[in-house]
Amino acid sequence: MKILVAVKRVIDYNVQIRVKEDGTGVVTDNVKMSTNPPDDNAIEEAVKIKEAGKATEVVAITVGEEKAQETVRKALAVGADRGIHVKADGILEPLAVSKILQKIVDKEKPDLVFMGKQAIDDDCNQTGQMLSALLNWPQATFASKIDVKDNKLEVTREIDEGLETIEINVPAIVTCDLRLNEPRYASLPNIMKAKKKPIEEIVASDLGVNVSPRLEQLKVEEPPKRKAGIKVANVAELVQKLKNEAKVI
């Protein structure tokens, strides 16, 4: 069994996001970038499945600018066997990414495609679902547990009401939740080895996919600042303020 894992380069989750003054987006210059956190879980799970002898190859793929290749290199350092970098600049919407992934799936013929449940930059949570539709493959989203059983997967999903366990046929798409596993550290020798693993570079336009955005972004702005809280003297004053000022009771 072969697993394709999609990873995305995003602003590091510890960095405080700043909106560009002209409202065209967020500041990415001089900002620490990292792999999208749930994508790390996706890679970890694929590598674990391979280590358990249930998969033969883990291929990491990213779509994006030149530097996005770092995320593939990191995936190789934690156990992926080889990488693919589909080069494309500018804003990439989930539909464009899923169409590119579809082309790569046609070429690579993996049995499973893993990715994070959503990216922490745009929070779209769409790429996995769109890919599933494009390929007409079953999907299991928000996976917090994956059991590989012959040609089936038993997947536990994080849903609003609690946990839901479903069984789907392979080939399939799985989007991974943060609770799925604890990603391993890339060890120094493995980082060295990763430098020698192959990464295939493909230009997005060569795949015949139109990646131009379908959505028009009007403006990006910061959420309004919260007003400072106040202290009230007693319950009566609180009730009075909730009633007359906040008008919530």
Partner 1 sequence: MSRESMEYDVVIIGGGPSGLSTAIKLKQLDPNLNVCLLEKASEIGAHILSGNVFETRALDELLPNWRELNSPIKTKVTKEKFLFLGKTKSLSWPTWLLPAVQQNHKNYIISLANLCRWLAEQAENLGVEIFPGFPASEILYNEDGSVKGVATQDMGIDKDGNKKDSFEPGIELLGKVTVFAEGCRGHLGKQLIEKFELNKGKDPQQYGIGFKEIWEIEDKNHEEGLVMHTAGWPLDNNTYGGSFMYHAENKQVFLGYVIGLDYKNPHLSPYDEFQRFKTHPAIKKIIEGGKRISYGARALIEGGFQSLPKMFMPGALLVGCDAGTLNMPKIKGSHTAMKSGIIAAETINEHLKEDKDLSIYEDKFKNSWLHKELYEARNVKPSFSWGLILGIIFTGIDQILFRGKLPFTLKHKHADHETLKPANQMPKIDYPKYDNEITFDKTSSVYLTGTNHADNQPVHLKLKDPNLPINYTLVKFDEPAQRYCPAGVYEVQKENDVNKFVINSQNCIHCKTCDIKEPSQNITWVTPEGSGGPRYGNM
Q: Does 66 bind partner 1 (CB under 8 A)?
A: no
Q: Pick from 61, 183, 202, 209 the residue near partner 1 by CB under 8 A.
A: 183
Report if residue 15 touches partner 1, rule: CB under 8 A: yes
Work out the end-to-end distance of the chain between its first and last CA atoms, rounded to an integer number of angstroms: 59
Give the nearest distance from C-beta 27 to partner 1 in angstroms: 8
Q: Least distance in Å: CB of 187 to partner 1?
A: 5
User: Partners of 3 in the beta sheet?
Assistant: 58, 112
Note whether 14 binds partner 1 by CB under 8 A. yes
Between 34 and 132, CB nearer to partner 1: 34
Question: Which residue stretch of 2-10, 24-32, 146-154, 233-241 sits at the interface with partner 1 (rule: CB under 8 A)?
Answer: 24-32
Q: What's the CA gap between 93 and 239, in Å, rounded?
A: 47
Which range of residues in 82-90, 162-170, 171-179, 181-189 is near partner 1 by CB under 8 A? 181-189
User: What residues make contact with partner 1 under the rule CB under 8 A?
Assistant: 12, 14-16, 18, 21, 29-32, 34, 182-189, 191-192
